[in-house]
Amino acid sequence: MTSGDLGDLVVLTIREPAAALRVLRGLDLPMSARWMALLLAVTLSTLLAMLSLALFPIEVESPVSAVLSSPAVLAGVQFAAMAVSALMMAQVGRWFGGQGDFADALLIVAWVELLLVGLQAVQVLMMLLFPATAAMLSVLAFGLFLYLAVAMTKALHGFSSTGKVVLGFVGSLFVLGFVLSLLAAALGIVPEVTP
């Protein structure tokens, strides 16, 4: 795959996610290459986060900022979160009658994360040149993530209803967020609120 093909795939992913998924599947990547793509995305994202933190230090000390300041911990958390996301994308979709599998879900998560890393790089640059526009890029990145997550999940499982995929996606996020907040509280990561 050349850089031109990669650029075409980026555009295709945004315009027609289902067609982009067919191209990604057509690459017939082994499972090890899918894991390596996810590892590459997490590594690049962590490097950009560390660069951003060096350029714009976080003043407030909190458990979250402590996690963000350690590259190994941040990378580990991101990698685990992406792997769990792929697992949930595959499993929850199958519970609702979808046909997708974990290998393709992992490929989707890695590819979407790589696209978001590209936006993250642009955001770091924009923070240096035009700080006011960096926040708009954050909103754009979040919107792109939601759009691609829903569209690619729909394509992965062969679903016809976008609304049902959105409901399933949002419901899964709430359940996962609740479980993770309980886990974080049990591990002492979330600070206690005192009256």
- Distance, CA of 86 to CA of 159 (rounded, Å): 17
pTM recorded for the entire structure: 0.85
Residue 167 one-letter amino acid: L
- Residue 141 has a pLDDT of 87
Q: Where are the alpha helices (DSSP H) in the chain?
A: 3-15, 17-26, 31-55, 63-68, 71-95, 102-129, 131-157, 162-187
- Residue 106 has a pLDDT of 95
- Residue 134 has a pLDDT of 73
pLDDT tens-digit map of 130-167: 877 777 888 888 899 989 999 999 999 998 888 888 88
CA distances from 89 to 96, 152, 169, 182, 183 (A): 11, 10, 8, 21, 21
CA distances from 100 to 26, 78, 153, 154 (A): 15, 23, 8, 9
How many residues are listed for the chain in this entry? 195
Whether the Cβ atoms of residue 71 and residue 48 lie closer than 8 Å to each other: no
pLDDT tens-digit map of 13-30: 999 999 999 999 999 999
Provide the 8-state DSSP code for 192: P
- The residue behind tokens 């974080």 is 184
Encoded tokens for 74: 């941040």
Q: Which of 75, 74, 154, 141 is nearest to 108 (CA)?
A: 154
- Residue 66 has a pLDDT of 67
Is 6 buried (19+), middle (13-18) or exposed (0-12) by CB count in 10 A?
A: exposed
Region 160-180: what's the mean pLDDT?
81
Residues 6+ apart with CB under 8 A from 119: 137, 140, 141, 144
- Residue 5 has a pLDDT of 81
